[in-house]
Chains A and B, each alone.
Chain A
Amino acid sequence: MGSRASTLLREEEIEEIKKETGFSHSQITRLYSRFTSLDKGENGTLSREDFQRIPELAINPLGDRIINAFFPEGEDQVNFRGFMRTLAHFRPIEDSEKNKNTSTSEPLNSRTNKLLFAFRLYDLDRDDKISRDELLQVLRMMVGVNISDEQLGSIADRTIQEADTNGDSSISFNEFIKVLEKVDVEQKMSIRFLH
């Protein structure tokens, strides 16, 4: 585990990833060994099947969508950089970072970017709007099989009604942020990465 990982991951790469994502050195090494253990084909990239092999994802309602979120638009393989970039969204926001002003581009794990990640899971066609259909699709995934479509439709309607401020029957990203402003997103979308 130890030797193989460090030979294949060069120090410069680790530094770059550190700068980009904010993970610590040991976290990066650890995640790299996880990456390689997932990578069955041993070609340095992960495909969708590699993710699908994780059994817990098969019983997660949003499993497949989250897998898709790792892959950049239209591609079928993700390398380690992309992997880390996606995982960086879930790094907890440290207190030191909270006070930094956003002169440079926002860190990947800022509140806005976390919400953007979730928003993109709903918004499949990337038109920056969650339409009623898209919302219905997500609801359908998250709910048991014995719920009828009408019930689900009415919930979707109420959801949009609650969030929609400009009356276009869809939820834009700003509306999404606004409707979740009281939610502690920092805590709910953060994982303690072990170090």
Chain B
Amino acid sequence: MPALVPVRVRVTALLLLLLPLPALVASGAAGGTVGIPGSSPAAAEEHRNHGGGGYRVVQWEWTYVQTPYVIAVWLLVASVAKILFHLSQRFTTVVPESCLLILLGLALGGLVLLANEKQLYQLEPALFFLFLLPTIVGDAGYFMPARLFFDNLGAILTYAVAGTLWNAFCTGFALHAASLVGLIDRRVEAGLMDFLLFGALISAVDPVAVLAVFEEVHVNDMLFIIVFGESLLNDAVTVVLYKVYISFVEVGVENVQTADYFKGIASFLVVSVGGTLVGLVFAVLLSFITRFTKKVRIIEPLFVFLMVYLAYLTAELFSLSAILSMTFCGIGANKYVEANISQKSRTTVKYTMKTLASIAETLIFIFLGISAVDKSKWAWDTGLVACTLVFIFIFRAAGVVGQTWVLNRFRLVPLEKIDQVVMSYGGLRGAVAFALVVLLDGKRVKAKDYFVATTIVVVFFTVMFQGLTIKPLVKWLKVPRSTSRKPTINEEIHERAFDHILTAVEDIAGLQGYHHWRDKWEQFDKNHLSKLLLRKSVYRKSELWENNEKFNCSESARRSKYQLRMLRPVGGSVVPGTHGACARPPPGSLFARSFRRENGSGVCLDLQVIDNVPGGKVEEDMETHHFLAENLYKPRRRQYQSHYSRHFMPAGEKERQDREVFQRNMKSRMETFKSARHKRHKKERALKKVGRGGEGASSSRPSGRKMRPLALKRRASERSYPFASLRFSLASQGLEAVAASSQEVIGCVREHAYGNQAAHAQIRLERACVSSWVCAPCGQHSFQTTCVLRHVPVFDLKEFQNKTGKHD
């Protein structure tokens, strides 16, 4: 009989049954002790005075382990819940995880309530603000794509400050008007100030909810960063408004003076700027500390977590904006920390942050569900709830449209209508609003219970209803724009070619804004900050790299031979994504932070990409379309980069594509170069025969020498490292040419880089650097396909001696 029921269902059923048990146990046990507060010391006493009662083999040590046990059990419940959800693939694509978690919370809350007649657990604001929220914000801030963020900073700030203020005031006034008109019942005793206060806390877009929902809807990077950035930066506004109104409410409406309004504005500036400064100070500290952690690698991740968390707490200490502080700490420190710490530490930091953030998010939603069930904490008023829902939606939409209209006059990439829809629909409220409303003082704000109920409803509505429907909504909005008929093969191929062409032309034309300030910043960064905050070895590598570049550039200006000119593309584009400009590569380029280019033209959904393979009448057609869709290289504009995905760490699909294309391009460039050089060589030989002279002799020897090592090298390296061979040959040619120009090449430092980050360096004491290399630190003979090789010639004996000393 059991065999008839599939395994999956059985497992699910079992887990579902088991799930509430820990909660019940915990609550039962806790209820047991909570109900009798005085019992624990008494029980302890009893234990100790157990002299005559005999020895107990097993004892019930609940009070001893109570707190950590309960915490661990809740974390376990949250994690098992996540497993359960992902058992059904179909389900998870439709319903966002946050919804399921809230529902689970509701169920669990109901169970606990039934078991105990009262609610034991709920979302405590202190727990939320001190532990759960920093985890999520820290993760978001640390992995925030800095360039995209700052490119859109204008829009983000506008929405965060102006938008939130607009929402807060309009909602407050509108609710007050509604209560005057009578839509809101008299029992809700709230004056103008109370409504303004409520408006302030309900109007802030919530980062947790935005992250949770937008992760399911794949919008393009720019849109995501605007909404998410707004949700982070509006914290300052929310904090100030909240505090100001609380103080107004306490003092009483009559006693508010105009000076207080100005104080409010001043406090906004202090809070926001102060918070940012605190964050930046900690960022500098963190980067500086990681500079010296070479001997204590194992605790490097700990520094990262500690400093980021301290940034948050310090800002809280001074009642500045803690979220801003943490965000900017993360953004500021990321670049230098990632350069300084070891690869393993990087992985540890990434995984730990994602784990903690994921669990914190889960806990938040579960507790939101649980807290909703506790009737004693809230009071229902239909009018208030309905009005609030309507008002926040209307004012958000109006605000977004208005601000976008203004912004589009100044923006380089305008925000389309569909972007505006996504932005207004995606303005989700979440746990922050709930925590703030619970923090209200019930005695001062008489309508607190009504507010709590309304907030719960609003949060549930936005997270669940809007979360559920945003995906279909966007899909529906997108579909009429694109043709619904089947694209022909020609169209598919040529459209893809167009995309590639456009991407290339955009890169050639250099269509990125803010050049001037970015250049200035990068100069400052290179000259001062990097010296201070990057490890000496790391900084020197980037310096050496630059010297190489400079040398090549100046040499080529003087000489007009092919050899060095071919070296430049190697130098410039060896690591895909570096800023190959000859004049001033930013020091971060060494670690190849891949550019995230803005994709401003319309919402890009990966749904769209899937939709491109429509149902065809002919089987073969379908197959071809499918084949093409899967195998054609994707242009950069269409790609969805999931920065914040907590579920999947995307494998190097893009890297694979980049590598293949790069290899091909280099090969073809090499071919053209060789054929051109061969022709030129022939010409030179012919010329030499005609006119002898010292010139002819000296010019032929270097080229002669060049031929041999090139051939040798190709054979040796192409044998086993096809990817490496290209660079080798080109680079050694450059070396030879350099040697020919009477500079002594003492040796070469071969940098062995994993993926995008330089990890090891190895020295070889040979001139031509022909034979195979062994990487000393990691002892590898062959190079992994993720390795990128660079050939960095060293010209100075002293420098060389310095470099041999340092192997990292």
Contacts and interface: CB of A to CB of B under 8 A. Distances in A.
B591 to A, nearest CB: 14
Contact of B501 (A70, A121, A180): A121
B308 to A, nearest CB: 32
A118 interface: yes
A53 B568 contact: yes
A178 B575 CA distance: 41
B796 interface: no
Nearest to B553: A40
A179 B490 contact: yes
A44 to B, nearest CB: 14
Given A54-B508, A64-B668, 4 more contacts: A34-B509, A59-B577, A188-B498, A191-B502
21 contacts: A38-B510, A40-B568, A51-B508, A53-B569, A53-B582, A56-B577, A59-B576, A60-B504, A60-B661, A61-B500, A61-B661, A62-B497, A63-B504, A87-B508, A87-B509, A90-B502, A145-B660, A158-B489, A179-B491, A180-B491, A188-B502
B509 to A, nearest CB: 6
B508 A183 contact: no
B266 interface: no
Candidate in B490, B511, B627, B633 with the most chain A CB atoms within 10 angstroms: B490
Most chain-A Cβ atoms within 10 A of its Cβ — which of B504, B506, B515? B504
Nearest to A145: B660
A57 B577 contact: no
A155 B579 CA distance: 37
Interface residues of B, number: 67
A104 interface: no
Contacts of B657: 59, 144
B489 A191 contact: no
A22 B557 CA distance: 34
Contacts of A183: 491, 494-495
A147 interface: yes
B669 to A, nearest CB: 7
B608 to A, nearest CB: 14
A64 B665 contact: yes
Nearest to B414: A192
Given A40-B582, A182-B483, A56 B490 contact: no
A80 B462 CA distance: 54
Contact of B507 (A57, A90, A159, A163): A57
A101 interface: no
Interface string A124-146: 00000000000000110111110
Contacts of B665: 57-60, 63-64
A37 interface: yes
Nearest to B496: A142
Given A180-B494, A191-B502, A58 B576 contact: yes
A182 B668 CA distance: 34
Given A54-B508, A57-B508, A63-B504, A1 B489 contact: no
Given A53-B569, A55-B578, A151-B627, A142 B632 contact: yes
Interface of B: 412-413, 483, 488-491, 493-511, 513, 515-516, 553, 556-557, 565-566, 568-569, 572-573, 575-583, 595, 601, 624, 627-628, 631-633, 635-636, 657-658, 660-662, 664-666, 668-669
Nearest to B635: A60
B580 A147 contact: no
Contacts of A143: 631-633
A54 B509 CA distance: 10
B669 A189 contact: no
A14 interface: no
Contacts of B494: 118, 180, 183
Contacts of B553: 40
A117 B504 CA distance: 14
* Majority DSSP secondary structure for residues of B touching A: helix
A180 B658 CA distance: 28
B490 A189 contact: no
A193 B573 CA distance: 25
Nearest to B654: A59
A16 interface: no
Residue among A31, A159, A182, A190 having the largest count of chain B Cβ atoms under 10 Å: A159
A195 B506 CA distance: 14
Contacts of A62: 497, 500-501, 504
Contacts of B582: 40, 53
A113 to B, nearest CB: 14
Nearest to B492: A159
Contacts of A90: 502, 505
Nearest to B602: A187
A1 B624 contact: no
Contacts of A191: 502, 505-506, 509, 511
A1 B515 contact: yes
Given A118-B501, A144-B657, A56 B595 contact: yes
A49 interface: yes
Query: Which of A58, A159, A190 counts the most chain B CB atoms within 10 A?
Result: A58
Given A53-B572, A54-B508, A66-B505, A188 B581 contact: no
B511 A159 contact: no
A31 to B, nearest CB: 6
B657 to A, nearest CB: 7
Of the listed residues B483, B497, B501, B628, the one surrounded by the most CB atoms of chain A closer than 10 A to its CB is B501
A194 B412 contact: yes
Contacts of B503: 56, 60
Nearest to B485: A182
A77 interface: no
Would you list the 6 A-B pairs with minimal beta carbon distance, nearest first? Answer: A55-B573, A58-B573, A56-B507, A53-B572, A52-B569, A34-B510
Nearest to A50: B568
Quick one: which of B498, B515, B660, B662 has the most chain A CB within 10 A? B498
B578 A49 contact: no
Nearest to B572: A53
A138 B497 contact: yes
A142 B633 contact: yes
B507 A58 contact: no
A117 B505 CA distance: 12
Given A34-B509, A121-B501, A162 B633 contact: no
A188 B564 CA distance: 38
A57 B660 CA distance: 13
A55 B502 contact: no
Nearest to B513: A194
Contacts of B631: 143-144, 147
A191 B598 CA distance: 13
A169 B576 CA distance: 38
Contacts of B412: 192, 194
A159 B573 CA distance: 34
A89 B483 CA distance: 25
Contacts of B581: 37, 53
A121 to B, nearest CB: 7
Which residue of A63, A145, A155, A182 has the most chain B CB atoms within 10 A of its CB atom?
A63
A186 to B, nearest CB: 11
A187 to B, nearest CB: 8
A190 B636 CA distance: 16
A171 B508 CA distance: 29
Contact of A155 (B516, B624, B662, B666): B624
Contact of A1 (B491, B516, B578, B658): B516
Contacts of B511: 191-194
A41 interface: yes
A31 B628 CA distance: 36
B420 to A, nearest CB: 18
A41 B500 contact: no
Given A40-B553, A118-B497, A183-B495, A66 B504 contact: yes
Contacts of A151: 627
Contacts of A47: 565
A122 B505 CA distance: 16
A59 B662 contact: yes
A118 B498 contact: yes
B491 A189 contact: no
Given A51-B508, A55-B579, A143-B633, A189 B489 contact: no
